[in-house]
Structure 1
Amino acid sequence: MNDISKLLEKFPIKITVAALLIILIVYLIRKFIKIFFDKTSFLDENREETIIHFTNQATKVIGVVFFLLYLLSHFFNLEKLVTGSVVVAGALAVILQHIIRDYIMGLTYLFERQINYGDYIIINGERQGKIEEISMRHLKIRQYDGYLYTVSYSNITELQNGTRGRRRVNESLILNYRQNPDTAFKVMEEVARICNEKYGEYLLKDENGVSVERFQFNQITELNVDFMGHKYSISGLVKEADYVEASKKLRYELALAAYNSDLIMAESTSTSH
């Protein structure tokens, strides 16, 4: 009984010291990495920011894990608890399987330079936006509608990254089967011409000031889209910072042209008249 009382008396002090020590170590690791990058220049600034951001997230998680293990070690024999219980060991194995998979895939994305902090990406062909957080297990992207989307690395089956400093705008009209393709071609080519004339400042330029890829009509890019019609698309290579605005302008010109030219838009097969 006396031993338990002594332990409880010293317990708050031990926990406080352990917490402060972990916080100090985390701070020193982060500080060292920041100073290292400030004094060196073998990586570009965006890459350095990505590694610093990832390290901050990783050290936070590792620090919390070590603190919890230290806390539990005062109440349980962790080694016997894990090895002595088949149920607990099995549950931990299942949980850690997904966690370790997330960690490995996250490190792969990071060290293969597939993603950087601040990149504009498309995940699984559905979600797109700017990377706001790169943690050990997941990504967080700020979508164009303002929502923050979180996805674990193991759930990423396809990742498209707008090439650093450049992005390809690609907008389409899905027209009805009854629409004459020759008429549609003329309208779309005119839209491409108008966009090059009105929004040329958004286009990515080479060192000579020449557009790398102007707005261009790509003709019919897909047939029988969802059993509704054919897809006619226009694309152009723009500066990354202008991607959202260029997309809006291109969509506007397509909608205006479809209205002025009385193009027959595709309709769902379930639409009733």
Structure 2
Amino acid sequence: MFVSKLIRSMVIIIIACILLKIIQFLLKNLFKITKFDERYEDTLCSVLCSVSYYIMFCLSVILILREFEIVDATAFGSIVTGASIVGIVAGVASQSILKDIFNGFFILFEKQIHVGDFIVINEEFKGNVEEVGIRSVSLRDWDLKRITIPNGNINSIRNYSKDVMRVIVHVRVSYEEDPMKVLESLQEVCNIMNEKYKDYLVKLRPSSYLGFKVYGITDIEKISIGAKYTITGVVTSEKYFAILREAKLQVLIVFKKNNIKIGYPTNINILSNEDNINEEL
């Protein structure tokens, strides 16, 4: 008797797994024919797959409990007993689970993240969003490690994939260099970037300047290093990191061509006359 119940329970689990795979397959193919944004489609598919998983899990548990006569839909006492057990378990876990679900709902409703976005969570975890669920978010970091964060633990999100971003490049230059020569060299860098990435440059307003420009000198307080110069440019988010790396590379190339020295920390030692006399002796 027990063996037959165990076999039927295993059959329930197998059928649930098969149905789950079928549902996930249908969802993925359904979103292929829709006309939503690709990242939005991937996010919806990820959420619906997560919801279907929890639904199949709950149904499987109920059917298995019914097989072992722990829960019986025809007996009121069994329902009450089963409900009591569920209530006890839910009472222990509900606080964190509900927090995860509610926080996840607002993240999805406000479209804070999509599958494929590069984000930083809580100023600690960063990577590409691989899966968005009703209880957690999964990232794939630079080392290809998968990081899963419960939605209830998410306090802040920095999204690097929201349409447009501003590339900001700071460079420290020695005070010995001619400021006008440095500004001209940085303008040369901007011209190169504007020509090379003109298809990815955007402007925030119709009247705003399109592309990279020299922002100017932004700091002269660190005397031991040099003056800080800044260039900026507004670009589409998908090319942000590639353009940022290229801009830094072009700064080094142009500075080397124009014989401009990058600033670096220096120490000046002043010797008194007595020290000089002692050294000569």
Q: State TM-score, norm by structure 2.
A: 0.65
- Alignment partner for residue 249 of structure 1, among 246, 250, 271? 246
Q: CA deviation at 1:51?
A: 0.5
What secondary structure does 2:128 align onto? strand
Q: CA deviation at 1:262?
A: 2.9
Cα distance in 2 for residues equivalent to 1:217 and 1:107? 42
What is residue 47 of structure 1 aligned with on the other side? 40
Two-structure CA RMSD over aligned residues (Å): 4.1
Cα distance in 1 for residues equivalent to 2:124 and 2:43? 24
Cα distance in 1 for residues equivalent to 2:91 and 2:183? 56
Cα distance in 1 for residues equivalent to 2:95 and 2:41? 30
- Alignment partner for residue 161 of structure 1, among 159, 162, 170? 159
- Alignment partner for residue 11 of structure 1, among 2, 5, 30? 5
Report if aligned partners of 1:184, 1:263 keep a CA contact under 8 Å in 2.
Answer: no
Cα distance in 2 for residues equivalent to 1:142 and 1:93? 33
Runs of at least 5 residues in structure 1 that lack an aligned partner in the other structure: 1-5, 84-88, 268-273
What is residue 196 of structure 1 aligned with on the other side? 191
For 1:46-65, list aligned pairs within 5 A.
46-65=39-58
What is residue 26 of structure 1 aligned with on the other side? 20
Cα distance in 2 for residues equivalent to 1:188 and 1:143? 37
Cα distance in 2 for residues equivalent to 1:252 and 1:93? 57
Q: CA deviation at 1:15?
A: 0.5
Matched AA of 1:134:
V
In the alignment, structure 1 residue 265 sits paired with structure 2 residue 257: no
Report if aligned partners of 1:106, 1:136 keep a CA contact under 8 Å in 2.
Answer: yes
Deviation by residue 1:92-127 (Cα, 9 ceiling, x = unmatched): 545332222122222211122222211232333454
Deviation by residue 1:216-268 (Cα, 9 ceiling, x = unmatched): 3344668979xx9986543322333433321222222345577753343359x
What secondary structure does 2:114 align onto? coil
What secondary structure does 2:211 align onto? coil
Report if aligned partners of 2:165, 2:235 keep a CA contact under 8 Å in 1.
Answer: yes
Task: Decide whether aligned partners of structure 1 residues 154 and 25 sit closer, same or farther in structure 2, where only a CA change above 3 A counts.
Answer: same
Aligned length: 246
- Bigger Rg, structure 1 or 2: 2
- Alignment partner for residue 103 of structure 1, among 91, 101, 104? 101
Q: CA deviation at 1:52?
A: 1.0
Cα distance in 2 for residues equivalent to 1:119 and 1:98? 26
Q: State TM-score, norm by structure 1.
A: 0.67
Q: CA deviation at 1:59?
A: 2.0
What is residue 270 of structure 1 aligned with on the other side? none
Runs of at least 5 residues in structure 2 that lack an aligned partner in the other structure: 71-80, 267-281
What is residue 127 of structure 2 aligned with on the other side? 129
Cα distance in 2 for residues equivalent to 1:251 and 1:192? 13
Matched AA of 2:5:
F
Cα distance in 2 for residues equivalent to 1:185 and 1:244? 29
